[in-house]
């Protein structure tokens, strides 16, 4: 494998591992404040945080993206980074780092913003981006004469079922913790909507 052809995927994995360790998988709240969508303080069981206008006024633009790198358990990070490795590297090798970078930026920022509006800043993870990667690869193959990524169509069905289970509260009931369902849904939609831009950047036609 030519490692230079998947440098962005490796960077995403490395940053995720580094930031997740820095925040102690969620135990180090002071460090977590630096990477969450908005700065926050805890008073007992209540969370106080900046609203979106406050985040914009602070000029701390990195907060729109950095929540994707925070993970709160070993299972959480392994599950997400496995998909980055399996799908992200394939997109990067076949279509280039620019396509992957824009897909990550668009889906990451959109899913973070949507989840923040629903739940506040106490969330994180690459799941929204993962949903985008899977949705993009699935739709590309579905509308191509010759499938390029070659993932089984059932994979998209599995992710839709996973999304439905999250909204139904089944995943949380199974002890998987709070699930950022809004981030998952918006990430999936971002991946589908990215297809025209991905085709343009990859030099393909319908």
Determine whether 76 is an active site residue. no
Token representation of residue 55? 């985040």
Catalytic residue of the set 9, 71, 107, 184: 184
Determine whether 34 is an active site residue. no
Token representation of residue 70? 């925070």
Burial 101-133 (b: 16+ CB within 10 A, else e): eebbebbbbbbbbbbbeebbbbbbbbbbbbbbb
Catalytic residue of the set 4, 97, 127, 144: 127
Cα separation, 105 vs 170, whole angstroms: 29
* Residues marked as catalytic: 127, 184
């Amino acid at each position: 494998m030519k490692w230079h052809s998947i440098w962005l995927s490796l960077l995403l994995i490395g940053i995720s591992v580094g930031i997740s360790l820095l925040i102690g998988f969620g135990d180090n709240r002071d460090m977590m404040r630096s990477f969450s969508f908005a700065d926050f303080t805890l008073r007992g069981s209540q969370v106080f945080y900046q609203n979106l206008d406050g985040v914009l006024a602070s000029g701390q633009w990195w907060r729109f993206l950095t929540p994707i790198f925070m993970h709160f358990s070993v299972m959480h990070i392994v599950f997400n980074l496995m998909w980055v490795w399996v799908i992200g590297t394939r997109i990067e090798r076949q279509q280039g780092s620019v396509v992957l970078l824009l897909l990550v930026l668009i889906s990451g920022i959109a899913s973070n913003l949507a989840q923040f509006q629903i739940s506040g800043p106490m969330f994180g993870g690459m799941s929204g981006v993962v949903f985008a990667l899977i949705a993009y690869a699935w739709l590309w193959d579905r509308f191509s004469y010759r499938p390029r990524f070659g993932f089984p169509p059932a994979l998209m069905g599995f992710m839709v079922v996973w999304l439905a289970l999250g909204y139904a509260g089944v995943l949380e009931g199974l002890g998987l913790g709070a699930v950022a369902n809004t981030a998952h849904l918006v990430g999936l939609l971002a991946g589908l909507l990215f297809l025209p831009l991905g085709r343009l950047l990859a030099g393909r036609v319908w």
